[in-house]
Amino acid sequence: MYHIGIDVGGTFTDIVVQDAAGRLAQGKAPSTPGDEFEGVIAAIRLMAERAGEPLGRFLADTAVINFGTTVATNAMLQHKGVAVAMLTTKGFRDLIELRRGYKEVLFDIRLEPPPPIVAREWRLPVAERIGRDGEVVLALDEAQVRAALAKAKAAGIRSVAVCFLSSYLNPAHERRVRAIAAEVYPEATVHLSSDVLPKVREYERFSTTLVNAFLSPLLKTYLDKLMAELRRHGFTRELYVMQSNGGAAAPDAAGNLACAALLSGPAAGVAAASRLGPACGHANVIGVDMGGTSYDVALIRDATPRTRSASWFSRWHIGLPMLDIHTIGAGGGSLAWVDPGGALRVGPQSAGAKPGPACYGQGGIEAAVTDAFLHLGYINPDFFLGGRMKLDPASARAAIERAVAVPLGMTMDEAAFSIFRIVNNNMSNGIRYVSVAQGHDPRDFALMSFGGAGSVTAGIQARDLGITKILVPRMAAVLCAAGELWADLRLTQMLSTTGRIDRLDAEAIGRTLDVLAAPERARLAALPGIARIDVERHAEMRYAGQVHELSTPIPLPNGGGMAAALTSTANAFHDLHHQLYAFAMREKPLEMIAVRQDLVGRRTVAIPFADGTADGTAEAAVKGRRRVCFPAGTGFRWQDTPIYDGAELAPGHAIQGPAVIEEVDTTIVLYPGDRARLNGYHVFEVDVGE
pLDDT in tens, 78-133: 899 999 999 999 999 999 999 988 888 888 889 999 999 999 999 999 999 999 88
614 has a pLDDT exceeding 90: no
**Polymer length in residues for the chain:** 690
How much is the pLDDT for 352? 72
11 has a pLDDT exceeding 90: no
How much is the pLDDT for 250? 84
What is the value of pTM for the model shown?
0.89
557 has a pLDDT exceeding 90: no
- Cβ atoms of residues 16 and 481 within 8 Å: yes
Residue type, 619: E
How much is the pLDDT for 420? 96
How much is the pLDDT for 155? 96
Q: Which of 85-89, 250-254, 547-551 has the highest mean pLDDT?
A: 85-89
How much is the pLDDT for 655? 95
User: Does residue 407 have a cis peptide bond before it, meaning omega lies within 30 degrees of 0?
Assistant: no
Percent above pLDDT 90 for the chain? 73
Cα separation of 485 and 62, whole Å? 12
pLDDT top residue among 443 and 529: 443
- Within 378-441, residue ranges assigned H as helices are 393-400, 406-408, 412-434
How much is the pLDDT for 526? 87
How much is the pLDDT for 198? 93
Cα separation of 612 and 629, whole Å? 32
- Cβ atoms of residues 540 and 549 within 8 Å: yes
pLDDT top residue among 105 and 673: 673
How much is the pLDDT for 589? 95
Q: Among residues 611, 645, 609, which one has the least CA distance to residue 625? A: 645
How much is the pLDDT for 353? 67
350 has a pLDDT exceeding 90: no
* Phi-psi label, residue 81: left if phi above 0, alpha if psi -120 to 50, beta otherwise: beta
pLDDT digits (tens, 9 = 90+) for 201-241: 999 999 999 999 999 999 999 999 999 999 999 999 989 99
Cα separation of 312 and 76, whole Å? 12
* Phi-psi label, residue 285: left if phi above 0, alpha if psi -120 to 50, beta otherwise: beta
Cα separation of 509 and 517, whole Å? 12
H helices then E strands: how many in the chain?
18, 35
For every residue of 277-346, DSSP letters joined together read HHHTT-SSEEEEEE-SS-EEEEEEETTEE-EES-EEETTEEE-S-EE-EEEES-STTEEEEE-TTS-EEE
How much is the pLDDT for 570? 94
How much is the pLDDT for 286? 97
559 has a pLDDT exceeding 70: no
Q: Which domains does the chain have, with CATH numbers?
A: 77-221 (3.40.50), 488-603 (3.30.1490)
39 has a pLDDT exceeding 90: no
Confidence of residue 453 (pLDDT cuts 50, 70, 90): confident
What mean pLDDT, rounded, does the chain reach? Answer: 92
Cα separation of 211 and 206, whole Å? 9
